[in-house]
Amino acid sequence: MRPTIVHAMSVSAGPQTTRRALRADLLDFVGDPGLGAPDPTAVRHRPDHWLLIDDGRVVDALPGAQPPGDDWAREEHRGRLLLPGLIDTHVHSVQLDVIASYGAELLDWLERYTFPAERRHGDAEHAQAQAEAFVDALLAHGSTAAVVFPSVHATSVDALFGAARRRGMRLIAGKVLMDRHAPDDLRDDVARARSDSETLIARWHGVDRLAYAMTPRFAATSTPGQLAMAGALLQRHAGLYMQTHVAENRAEVAWIAKLFPEARSYLDVYHRHGLLNERAVLAHGIWLDDADRQVLADTGAQIAHSPSSNLFLGSGLFDWQAMADAGAEVSLASDVGGGTSLSMIRTMADAYRVQALRGVRLSAFKALHAATRGAAQALQLDHEVGSLEPGRIADVTVWDWAVGNVATPRDTLARDLHERLFAWMMLGDERNLVTTLVAGRTQYRRRSGDSGASETQHGFAAAA
């Protein structure tokens, strides 16, 4: 079923051009704004400008009063905010069914909600339908790139990569590795996990904008033999990513200490199996110490901070300041289904609340940086995504600064850019999203005159 295409704006060029120009307030980053008082020199704000996109890439920007020629398909979004596509560095594609499940902490939550939902992804038809729905949901929340956990089943990996590839997305994922402490029908073993991983790497790694990640769920659900296998594959295949969970919950940390008495810490379990490098993405990292943070800084591994999930599951308050002091990388993540929204705006607002409880001020600049350029740098992908720099692939989102009769008057009272962006971050969500472009093609557009209704645009390119 193809969605109806709703033309919410005028497009002035013929159907042949691959050149598009979007007029809006352009905002991206040229540096790291840092924690604490926002550093305005890290921010590039170009109010009322045209962003020029040619053949799927950003090529230039022009002042609003100097529109490009008639060979550009022009779209008016005057008075709206245009950002690079948002990057969600940790999310589970197979957990949409269990989002907002009541009354559990991590280990109980896995048992009661997560494993039953993931079991259903052994069925190829279910996996396919869920993967399509998941990537469309990402795009309808303004996330154009993601680091994703599917399930242990190869079917779930094929379905996810296939759905992302059809939409031209940057996506990093891999088969979940789990050979102990999981239900019988969700466990693999070292030999099968190795051969499944090799097959999937050959099929997907480096294809279009896809990259494969070795994906041990967490140290408790992989034997030392399986962790060593994952480390060996990371060595063998250039450019592979690694994703896992670390130090999310205190009961979990105590369990890992019992399972790996030889390790100095939970993080050290991964380090000693060769799993930490500059393409390693570890979710949570709440219960780390200074030595751990130094290891993260030294190896270049990043923490995918997941504040919505941490608040929802009562896991703890992430120490962003200590990470920054150590020089370790932090990106932002929804961690759905532990997190309660795919919206990276809501995730930023939750990150602000977590830091407020620690007595740290998280500026809107720093939060947005961590979901755009900062995440791209931490993933070694800033040559491709995360900013509006000429040459970057045109993953772009356009937002209303405010929606509704509380946010709108608040927006008009904002005295400077940071105040305005902060109110957007605290009051906004996916209803503010107007359109999402992936590699210059429209993949989501809000229905005309409506806030909150969704319209996925799979297969539709407004000007191509």
Residue ranges that bind Zn ion, judged by CB under 5 A: 283, 335
Residue type, 60: D
Residues whose CB is less than 8 angstroms from the CB of residue 371 and which lie 6 or more positions away in sequence, other chains included:
86, 87, 88, 331, 332, 344, 347, 348
C-alpha–C-alpha distance, residues 387 and 396, integer Å: 9
Nearest approach, Cβ of 351 to Zn ion (angstroms)?
16
φ and ψ at 256, to 5 degrees?
-60, -40
Least distance to Zn ion from the beta carbon of 173, Å?
13
- Comparison of 309 and 454: residue with beta carbon closer to Zn ion: 309
For residues 430 and 139, is the Cβ–Cβ distance under 8 A?
no
Please identify, using beta-carbon distances, which residue of 25 and 335 lies nearer to Zn ion.
Answer: 335
The nearer residue to Zn ion, 35 or 283, going by C-beta atoms, is 283
**Least separation, in Å, of the C-beta of 449 and Zn ion?**
37
Question: For Zn ion, which is the closer residue by CB, 292 or 335?
Answer: 335
Closest-approach residue to Zn ion (CB)? 335
Q: How far is the CB of 438 from Zn ion (least distance, A)?
A: 24
Quote the least distance from Cβ 127 to Zn ion, whole Å: 18
Separation of alpha carbons 89 and 379, rounded Å:
9
Q: β-strands 280-284, 241-246: how paired? A: parallel
- 334 versus 454: smaller Cβ distance to Zn ion: 334
- Residue of 289, 299, 364 lying closest to 332 (CA atoms): 364
What minimum distance in Å lies between the beta carbon of 372 and Zn ion? Answer: 21
If the CB atoms of residues 283 and 332 are measured against Zn ion, the closer one turns out to be: 283
Decide whether 334 or 377 has the Cβ nearer to Zn ion: 334
**How many angstroms separate the CA atoms of 135 and 171, rounded?**
10
Q: How far is the CB of 329 from Zn ion (least distance, A)?
A: 18
